[in-house]
Structure 1
């Protein structure tokens, strides 16, 4: 199945999408915690990996909905570092499914370019098998110039590890930095999400009301929406319910978000963020990350 579904809308679904687009704020960036695949498999008497496969199919439909309603960036929590603690059969099954889907993505390059979708994998991919690292790198390289929808896949990810990796990046590449350069803003710029705005909405399925170590640094202005539906069973109406919840919250939230943006800009000014020394470090960081991907994607 393609990463982008050719979802066929009923007339009343098209009407609902139109009303939602015209009725209020649409989140620029939405993040999904796609929970409930294993419980879905159990309820349908399926093997565990089949539940995850159904979950991927539903992600393809959800991306279609996001494109059509005007969302610009999507982040999905696909595989936590904590998932390595599951049984060998399930972990190996998940990694095999990832291999299959990233190969499909690479083969589906024309469609991704048609919709101008850029793939970013955020996470500690060094923990993954080398062949999967290469597939991930190639998927990121072949879509790097697309700019209509940014799809971030959190794979081999936890927020604590992301923050730890940020600090390690400063230690590794920051030889020219001074002690006063190292602050909250610089750590933030070294996260995997360096070029992404914070999520406007986090949408979690399956009835669990927790964050599960997902994007904890980025959530200070995020609306969090929980629903009891299992991820493979999510419908357009569940999706629109989450968008509506965000629109209701945005009435109160927009002034707070504007204030946070002003504080963020003032913080950058106060900490000398725009100095040539720090900007050189950030250019070095971007170049280093790009070279790692190029090396992986072209290796045999």
Structure 2
């Protein structure tokens, strides 16, 4: 009886979620949402779990939130999975994170139903040369398996730092100008640099929303260039493994209200 009730409640929640998503989808939808998936370690300590369990449950949350975004027809989702500075953490934790990343990427390769169903192209962005060789091999395999998908984009940033991305973009812009024969004093514009950003090179649209969980109010060197102008930034108290639809709804509603307000202002000017 209990098992039946549990199954029925799960089915009911799924139906309710689908109704909520259908209502939200009737309004303006962000093109690109990024998440700083923070709080896995504090969540684990709070629950009395090992740190690795917190990270594993964080990946489960990523799957759920990605599913929500895809049902809403969000074009691009970016997530901060591993910072370059994270290599300074204890070796045991770093090794566990690398093993977890490899495991999840292998599952994407073997059971990529969600990505295939919604036509999602996977990109792993960052200084991937810093990853262990076996993880680099899995990254390449996973990316190649979704390369034909063109309806949506999932950017997993690992190992990543925004200052590194910007530095590489400036170097690429200068080299491109020199290769084009523009002389020893090339005039590099903001657009030249933006075109060379990792996110731009994989076709990501402008960043509409950036969400950081766990209550920490800083960007931690993530997408600094991309969120410097019109991005709506949210700092949410919930730890990432606990982040769900009810945390997400107010963020989406605020975005929709902002778009509607802009449309009303534009109509008044006309």
TM-score normalised by structure 1 residue count: 0.77
Give the whole-Å Cα distance in 2 for the aligned partners of 1:198 and 1:231.
24
Which residue does the alignment assign to 1:203?
211
1:176 CA drift (Å): 2.8
1:71-125 Cα deviation digits (max 9, x unpaired): 1110011111111111111111111111111111111245532331110111111
1:21 aligns with 2:25: yes
Cα 1:239–1:158 shift into 2, 3 Å: same
Secondary structure of 2:106 counterpart: helix
Give the whole-Å Cα distance in 2 for the aligned partners of 1:217 and 1:196.
13
Which residue does the alignment assign to 2:245?
236
Contact 1:201 1:224 in 2 (8 A): yes
Which residue does the alignment assign to 1:72?
75
**Which blocks of at least 5 consecutive residues in structure 1 are unaligned?**
1-6, 257-300
The alignment's C-alpha RMSD in Å is 2.2
Which residue does the alignment assign to 1:12?
16
Counterpart among 108, 115, 120 of residue 117 in structure 1: 120
Contact 1:26 1:247 in 2 (8 A): yes
1:128 CA drift (Å): 1.2
TM-score normalised by structure 2 residue count: 0.86
1:21 CA drift (Å): 1.8
Which residue does the alignment assign to 1:48?
51
Mapping of residues 1-300 of structure 1, within 5 Å? 9-22=13-26, 24-109=27-112, 111-170=114-173, 174-178=178-182, 179-194=185-200, 195-219=203-227, 220-252=229-261
Give the whole-Å Cα distance in 2 for the aligned partners of 1:63 and 1:90.
25
**Which blocks of at least 5 consecutive residues in structure 2 are unaligned?**
1-9, 266-270
1:241 CA drift (Å): 1.8
Give the whole-Å Cα distance in 2 for the aligned partners of 1:205 and 1:254.
30
Equivalences, count: 250
Contact 2:174 2:186 in 1 (8 A): no
